[in-house]
Amino acid sequence: MRGHAGRRVMPASFKENLPATTRTPRSIPGRLQTALAGAVSLGPPDTEQSIEITVRLRAAPERTPLDLQAATADQRLASRQYLSREQFSQNHGASRPADIAALAAFAVQHGMQLTGSSAPQRRVVLSDTAAMGVAFGVKLEPFEYPDGSYRGYVGELSEWAELAGVVEGVFGPDERPVATPK
């Protein structure tokens, strides 16, 4: 379906046509966004534009965080003990291999591509068009504001019941500037 300026537009029924198993979203804490001051929506997003997001996964709850200050404060560099990559992955990586598999299944179900994953880094990279916002309960759209433009959303990102507690953060759907150069 084509909209303004020949751009493809998501059908209004897109969200209603999601499989029944994904109709129970839960808010992801800390992901509520409002438009920047003076920002105006430029209309529907360009559905041809590829978007990449990074999803951070939970760590295992039984793992206790390492107190780096206490572990290394009074030691010389040469006498400190460092974690191997395998030890780091065991201590700080994704809690369960099933978490990456569940997120991969979710991505496929919503038409996204899994472009990378790392259990030690607790990260999964997904790509799709602006339609991917619907999978997280928001509508991605271009905004213009006095200092420029950005892609963003208004509202709160959600995770679906089958991912309850798996997602710790979603980074990349909103590309508004975070800092202002001096």
pLDDT tens digits for range 129-166:
887 888 888 888 999 999 899 999 888 888 777 788 88
CB atoms within 10 A of CB 52: 16
Instruction: Tell the residue number behind the tokens 């369960």, with chain if given.
Output: 96
Domain boundaries, the chain: 4-11+18-61+68-73+80-171
Is residue 33 predicted with pLDDT exceeding 50? yes
**Contact criterion met (CB below 8 Å) for 55 and 126:** yes
pLDDT tens digits for range 67-77:
666 666 677 77
Is residue 57 predicted with pLDDT exceeding 70? yes
Radius of gyration of the chain (CA): 20
Supply the DSSP symbol for 135: H
Average pLDDT, rounded, for the chain? 77
17 pLDDT tier (thresholds 50, 70, 90): very low
- Higher-pLDDT residue of 42 and 83 is 42
d(CA 162, CA 180): 38
Average pLDDT rounded to a whole number, residues 67-89: 73
pTM of the entire predicted model: 0.71
